[in-house]
Amino acid sequence: MAVQLIDIVTEIKAGHTFREKLLAEPFGDIAIVQLGDINADKLNIDSAHILVNGKGFKTSHFLQKGDVIFAAKGSNNKAAVFNADIKAVASSVFFIIRLKPQLVLPHYLAWYINSKLGQSYINSVKDSSTTINIKKRDLEKLPVSLPEIETQRKIASLAELSLKETELLEDIKRKRKAINEQLIINSILKR
């Protein structure tokens, strides 16, 4: 079944706009999710470099487990699922998508947005007047193929395994390079 994104969400809202430059605070307790925290279709909240004091934030600013965050600005328009056990606020480069859980799983939707199908639509609606930007009204119209929940679960699981495989292969590649380099250095030093 194909639907529009707006039909399967409870809310799509912009991330928080910060009025001044963010600086990490030594005793900060709120992670600020920025564009650099999404890579390989995954949110790396542990890498959030900016922790700030929670003063001034409303409850509505905080991300909730299961929120899909979508990078609406810049050239890397990817989605990821927030599942961390920390308080976090997404910056204004993101749209926060809250789903109707009886209709769609967060990991499935993030996968779908990042797939060729989702990215094809995203690329067709990019507004690049000065910086690349996806408008909320265009995101709401994103056509989503919506299989049954069990099928969504299997697709999300397969996508997670594929990501894990890619991470492991990259790790093997890095370690192999380091070993080879050390072998070469050792052979040079023995002469």
Inter-residue contact 69 to 93 (CB < 8 Å): no
Instruction: Give the total residue count for the chain.
Output: 191
Burial class (CB in 10 A: 0-12, 13-18, 19+), 112: buried
Cβ atoms of 111 and 56 closer than 8 Å? no
Torsion of CA 18, 20, 22, 27, to 10 degrees: -90
Instruction: Please state whether the predicted TM-score (pTM) of the whole model is above 0.95.
Output: no
Exposure string for 56-68, b = 16+ CB within 10 A, e = fewer: eeeeebbbeeebb
Structural domains in the chain, sorted by start: 2-189 (3.90.220.20)
β-strand pairing of 42-43 with 38-39? antiparallel
pLDDT in tens, the chain (191 residues): 889 999 999 999 999 888 777 777 777 778 888 887 777 666 776 555 667 766 678 888 899 999 999 999 888 899 999 988 888 899 899 999 999 999 999 999 999 999 999 999 999 988 766 677 899 999 999 999 999 999 999 999 999 899 889 889 999 999 999 999 999 998 888 76
